[in-house]
């Protein structure tokens, strides 16, 4: 059995108090901050050690890109202004590609709850998923029950930071709506991460937060033909981008 690449980034990012650091690390590093007056000039995080810890997790899970095009896409949203609902959703997409444990919990817990119409998810449900995974994953077998419990809680906290949940101990599932701009951004992102020729087989379709048929009906609207070329036959879906990745965000705004 192929083992997952598991790290503690969910714990670290779930505790990140200042998401504006993400924008900062698109173009800078802790080292470069030292030359610009130190990290206190940019964040209230108290120690340089803590900032470096957050930087590693941000770069590894949020700002690592599988292609130049996907990097251009996400960075164009981050560069557009302050951290926003749109940029948080795009970071959730990218983090789910990069972080196998986040992806696993999304598949086992968040999206099944989301699409079944459930209202809340409790930390103990995330903990149960992790305990089950620990049975087969060697890297998790070194994790204590305390770490497992913390990770389960931080997973839901991280979803809250991404704008996908709200509330305290028992968090309520939110239903983000992708406007026309973000819907096209999603499609362009999907085309970068999906290798299957038939997009109907893609495991990433659920990341649109739309039922499959609703998604298809929306993207087939005439107003999107200048951005994408669609071939749909009922059981097969193929989409080609019509605008370069370094221009699509500006074309949509």
Domain shared by 145 and 200, yes or no? no
Answer whether 237's CB lies under 8 Å from 216's CB. yes
Q: Which domain covers residue 229, as residue numbers?
A: 180-252
Each residue's pLDDT tens digit, 70-126: 899 999 998 887 789 999 999 999 999 999 999 999 999 999 999 999 999 999 999
Same domain flag for 85 and 193:
no
DSSP string, 62-84: IS--SSHHHHHHHHHHHTTSSS-
Q: What is the pLDDT of residues 131-173, one digit of tens each?
A: 999 999 998 999 999 999 999 999 999 999 999 999 987 889 9
The domain that contains 67 carries what CATH number? 1.10.3540
Helix H segments across 79-119?
Answer: 85-98, 100-105, 111-115
User: Which residue among 154, 175, 196 closes a domain?
Assistant: 175
Determine contact, residues 191/228, Cβ cutoff 8 Å.
Answer: no
The residue written with tokens 């940019």 in the block is: 42
Contact 133, 41 (CB under 8 A): no
How does pLDDT run across 18-35, given as a tens digit for each residue? 888 888 888 765 565 555
Domain co-membership, 37 together with 153? yes
**Does 129 share its domain with 238?**
no
Q: Same domain, yes or no, for 190 and 244?
A: yes
CB 226 within 8 A of CB 242: yes
Number of domains in the chain: 2
Asked if 153 and 165 touch (Cβ cutoff 8 Å), the reply is no
pTM, rounded to two decimals: 0.92
Please tell me whether residues 145 and 239 are part of one structural domain.
Answer: no
Query: Do the beta carbons of residue 215 and residue 228 sit within 8 Å?
Result: no
| One domain for residues 25 and 59 | yes
Same domain flag for 153 and 193: no
Residues 56, 7, single domain; the answer is yes
Tokens of 63: 């700002």
The residue with greater pLDDT, 36 or 68, is 68
* Same domain for 164 and 122: yes
Whole-number Cα distances in Å, 114 to 117, 151, 186, 202, 229:
6, 20, 18, 18, 30
User: What is the rounded CA–CA span in Å between residue 46 and residue 7?
Assistant: 24
User: What is residue 7's predicted lDDT score, i.e. its pLDDT?
Assistant: 93
Give the residue among 170, 183, 154, 178 at the shortest CA–CA distance from 118: 170
Task: Give the model's pLDDT for residue 17.
Answer: 87
Among 114, 149, 175, identify where a domain stops: 175
Same domain for 187 and 150? no
Q: Give the per-residue pLDDT at 37.
A: 46
Statement to judge: residues 155 and 81 lie in one domain: yes
Task: Out of 175, 206, 226, pick the residue that ends a domain.
Answer: 175
């Amino acid at each position: 059995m192929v083992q997952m690449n598991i790290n503690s980034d969910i714990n670290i990012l779930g505790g990140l108090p200042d998401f504006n650091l993400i924008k900062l690390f698109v173009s800078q590093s802790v080292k470069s901050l030292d030359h610009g007056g130190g990290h206190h000039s940019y964040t209230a995080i108290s120690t340089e050690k803590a900032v470096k810890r957050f930087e590693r997790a941000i770069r590894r899970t949020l700002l690592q890109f599988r292609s130049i095009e996907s990097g251009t896409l996400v960075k164009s949203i981050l560069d557009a202004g302050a951290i926003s609902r749109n940029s948080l959703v795009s970071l959730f997409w990218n983090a789910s590609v990069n972080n196998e444990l986040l992806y696993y919990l999304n598949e086992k817990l968040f999206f099944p709850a989301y699409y079944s119409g459930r209202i809340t998810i409790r930390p103990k449900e995330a903990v149960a998923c992790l305990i089950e995974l620990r049975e087969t994953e060697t890297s998790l077998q070194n994790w204590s029950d305390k770490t497992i419990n913390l990770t389960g809680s931080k997973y839901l906290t991280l979803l809250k930071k991404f704008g996908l949940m709200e509330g305290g101990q028992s968090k309520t599932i939110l239903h983000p709506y992708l406007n026309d701009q973000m819907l096209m951004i999603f499609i362009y992102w999907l085309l970068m991460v999906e290798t299957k020729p038939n997009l109907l087989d893609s495991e990433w379709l659920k990341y649109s937060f739309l039922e499959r048929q609703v998604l298809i009906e929306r993207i087939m609207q005439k107003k999107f033909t200048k951005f994408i070329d669609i071939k749909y036959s009922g059981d097969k879906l193929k989409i080609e981008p019509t605008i370069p990745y370094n221009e699509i965000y500006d074309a949509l705004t």
